[in-house]
Structure 1
């Protein structure tokens, strides 16, 4: 079944309800959204010569055109390749080339970056600017009579997730995977009422975009902030305007919303139904502050790009009873396994561990990806034994709550976004003055963690921080660049020569503690 079935159904059941809005302005109802998506689909198949299964990339900030375009891709029987709009053109180029995308859509602010990326991705035949003349021409065409028939195992969403190998891997998400995650949202996270709204403050290329599915299915409007992203005052205004509002957010966004609400005279959250947070654990103190300001309107999930939004979850029901004797333990956890997946904690031999013992988190079920695009070795390793090996360490308690102990040994989570140190290290090591380096995360009050690079210079070389930073910024996205550089004589290493990142993290933590005590 084509996941587009959800919009096709909504265009009948919810045809006159608001489907897409920019800020407070309704642009299209569900009948119109369906027609516009099928027009885009017809144009991609006829004018651009695409065939079932071809990949189409989108490099865009949040915009109403994103919604109709991605649904148009599915209506045509094509696979969407959502690209993080913050990436450097060289990183965009790798994804375009590796995915084999023949067409790429770009928001106007990303057109230049895509043009630069295409010089390294010769397989891309056409670039279309959203809301530009070529995009308008697609919309002016005759819509497809009906959406393409697809097998449940056909590729729908090719999601590139950074990895410890230094190159992103394309997780193949099928129509069946997306249907399973949608079902699990209703069962385990939130009940979406018809006529509600989801405010897309987080990137639609990631989690927020995946939450289109349950909201479209139930006739809830897709509301795009006029800023195109997260602005706390704007979000508060939209929450006060739209009924039954939900939102997906990183913990950093919630913290900023709460801080801004505390400054307001009389913040109105009466229309807020739920904010679902994910991407990183949220500190208990931050959760409690959010509950004080927002009320019991939080839910959380734990997932990966390989099992999108769907490993464990904690519905808002668990945030209501703050008198429960284990309330703080519960909200510190990642919740229960979602209904459509099995989750285990296993040892190094993949033997299940009992409650109370830490190990690797593994999962299996319909939400788990088909595999990695053009990477059978990584697929075999990650899906060995039929289980998704997350690389994350966790522990179950006797009540079935899963608590995360580490997010992939070395991953840095800044503002809800995963940053893998090896990607940054490989760039640093290309600098002629760098002998060795190690990148770790340090605690940060606003972002959760910030990137810190420990650098050893080549003999006789004196490194300049500004020069090194400019070198890194020219190669990777700005959000991945180190926020601090520490120049040291030697990196701590084990007897086997392995760099001991733990010692570097401990050093930063000790320095932060000393600074706090001195203050």
Structure 2
């Protein structure tokens, strides 16, 4: 593949400047594609000027913020990039959040303007009077539509420094208290540069089906447009449509979460599509099982890279699965310049092979949670030299080769009768049953044991196996302390938009229906 002239040693620049450079060197090259709509780099650059100018005309200055809450679209990408050109900070919010949660995040981010699509506008109708001005990103509101809001004009140039805020990404937007993670232009520049060795460049075609409010998506979005490639947008993931678009556009790169890979690989017609154009595929955000990685390596051309890390930054690991097929159960080794360690409950560092909470330090760490110094402090750990690390909340261990294997989220670990039980171990065993398509295990309250494990499972379409039959099969295969108290069959597991199983929802649902078990 042809690579961008940018090198790893390049000084700091901005995504906005790179888009302008691409518009000068390859003005008619397609930058964004959504269904039948296309934008060249020349058109994209002009629109970024219009967005930046319009924001400045509305009185927004560098350091001010806007919020975007909508499905993926070309307008979304244009608005995001244009705001950055004006030095305006973008807070992309999850449309799946409750109206109350959205109001909290909008207020916390100090957004001066809020851009929404029709479904979000309807969801916010009852509290719209309490919010900043809402603008219709999809032009569904003709009096306050994005196209009407855009003005012709050249923005006043803004000098962007590495320390300036790029975006505010909120964690726990659907459950728990939303926390705004502030990330800088310098951190995002590092993400663009990091894309070069993976083949991002002028000839790449990235098929994007994960939401733009997610850091998962931005890790692929930024290097594609920064390095002059073409981004094909999907408003919503659909396995059949994804495969059609991949074949049609000769996709070379894609970032998918594990549940999307699972749905693609499960399709009976998967092998009938021509996916030979793929150079590299990526995954992050949720547990990625070794069996699924092996199936992808066998049947889907191109490399497979798994990233493990947090939106907050800290340390990240990378598994080049196509180069290390013997390590598929791990999430790989720390990236260059990333210092990752394991600590016990008291904050003491543990040696290789010991299980504990994973902490990490890297050049790309959040400054902190917006307006929440106490939450920031809770997320930090310092070694004896005073070096700052970010706690991941994940439990894992490093092997002798430096590969990290994750056990579970610390909060998801089950303590039953004094024994630590890792749901991931039970899930791996349960997944071996031929009748099951999807599984998860949660800990629920028990008067006898403190907590006890309960399984949830989705049957394969052709199966009619019963819960008691599967439960008996499972409990004969594991130790006494790991036995499931019960197994509940369900049509689907609740997942976030980026594929994480919402275990808290299942725990709350179980307690509401069954209370405390004996």
Instruction: Indicate the TM-score class for this superposition, using the shorter chain for normalisation.
Output: 0.7 to 0.9
Cα 1:446–1:291 shift into 2, 3 Å:
farther
Q: Is 1:338 aligned with 2:335? A: yes
What's the counterpart of residue 368 of structure 1? 365
Q: Counterparts of 2:188 and 2:59 in 1: how far apart (Å)?
A: 26
What's the counterpart of residue 253 of structure 2? 246
Q: Is 1:404 aligned with 2:401? A: no
Structure 2: give runs of 5+ residues left out of the alignment: 1-12, 383-387, 414-422, 428-439, 446-450, 461-500
C-alpha contact (below 8 Å) 2:16/2:84 kept by paired residues: yes
C-alpha contact (below 8 Å) 1:156/1:175 kept by paired residues: yes
Q: Counterparts of 1:278 and 1:79 in 2: how far apart (Å)?
A: 25
| Alpha-carbon displacement from aligned partner over 1:365-422 (angstroms, at most 9, x marks no partner) | 22110101001111122134211111111211111111111124229999xxxx9x99
- The counterpart of 2:210, out of the listed 195, 202, 210, is 202
C-alpha contact (below 8 Å) 1:192/1:218 kept by paired residues: yes
Matches within 5 A, 1:94-243: 94-119=104-129, 121-122=130-131, 124-131=132-139, 133=142, 134-144=145-155, 146=157, 148-162=158-172, 166-187=176-197, 190-206=198-214, 207-225=216-234, 228-243=235-250
What's the counterpart of residue 317 of structure 2? 312
Pairwise CA distance, 1:349: 4.4
| Alpha-carbon displacement from aligned partner over 1:427-457 (angstroms, at most 9, x marks no partner) | xxxxxxxxxxx9998454599xxxxxxxxxx
What's the counterpart of residue 9 of structure 1? 21
C-alpha contact (below 8 Å) 1:105/1:130 kept by paired residues: no
Task: Return the TM-score normalized by structure 1.
Answer: 0.74
Pairwise CA distance, 1:76: 1.0
Cα 1:442–1:298 shift into 2, 3 Å:
farther
Structure 1: give runs of 5+ residues left out of the alignment: 426-437, 448-477, 493-519
Alpha-carbon RMSD: 3.3
C-alpha contact (below 8 Å) 1:21/1:64 kept by paired residues: yes
Count residues with an aligned counterpart.
426
| Alpha-carbon displacement from aligned partner over 1:310-367 (angstroms, at most 9, x marks no partner) | 6111235426xx5xxxx1xx11111111224222222344443221111211111221
Cα 1:440–1:131 shift into 2, 3 Å:
farther
Cα 1:65–1:157 shift into 2, 3 Å:
same
What secondary structure is seen at the aligned counterpart in 1 of 2:266? helix
Q: Counterparts of 1:408 and 1:223 in 2: how far apart (Å)?
A: 37
Cα 1:254–1:210 shift into 2, 3 Å:
same
- The counterpart of 2:391, out of the listed 389, 392, 401, is 389
Q: Counterparts of 1:377 and 1:239 in 2: how far apart (Å)?
A: 45
C-alpha contact (below 8 Å) 2:192/2:227 kept by paired residues: no
- The counterpart of 2:516, out of the listed 487, 490, 502, is 490
What's the counterpart of residue 71 of structure 2? 61
What secondary structure is seen at the aligned counterpart in 2 of 1:371? coil
What secondary structure is seen at the aligned counterpart in 2 of 1:332? coil
Q: Counterparts of 1:195 and 1:283 in 2: how far apart (Å)?
A: 31
Q: Counterparts of 1:491 and 1:115 in 2: how far apart (Å)?
A: 42
Q: Counterparts of 1:353 and 1:485 in 2: how far apart (Å)?
A: 35
Q: Is 1:352 aligned with 2:354? A: no
Q: Counterparts of 1:127 and 1:224 in 2: how far apart (Å)?
A: 22
Cα 1:442–1:280 shift into 2, 3 Å:
farther
Q: Counterparts of 1:68 and 1:95 in 2: how far apart (Å)?
A: 22
What's the counterpart of residue 288 of structure 1? 294
Q: Counterparts of 2:316 and 2:183 in 1: how far apart (Å)?
A: 15
Which range moved further: 156-165 or 286-295? 156-165
Return the structure number with greater relative CO, CA threshold 8 A, min gap 6.
1
| Alpha-carbon displacement from aligned partner over 1:60-82 (angstroms, at most 9, x marks no partner) | 11111111010011011111001
Q: Counterparts of 2:392 and 2:459 in 1: how far apart (Å)?
A: 26
What's the counterpart of residue 434 of structure 1? none
Q: Counterparts of 1:101 and 1:128 in 2: how far apart (Å)?
A: 15
Cα 1:115–1:38 shift into 2, 3 Å:
farther
C-alpha contact (below 8 Å) 1:65/1:131 kept by paired residues: no
What's the counterpart of residue 479 of structure 2? none
Matches within 5 A, 1:429-444: 442-444=455-457
| Alpha-carbon displacement from aligned partner over 1:253-305 (angstroms, at most 9, x marks no partner) | 00111112x33572211122222111112111122222232145321101112
Q: Counterparts of 1:219 and 1:150 in 2: how far apart (Å)?
A: 20
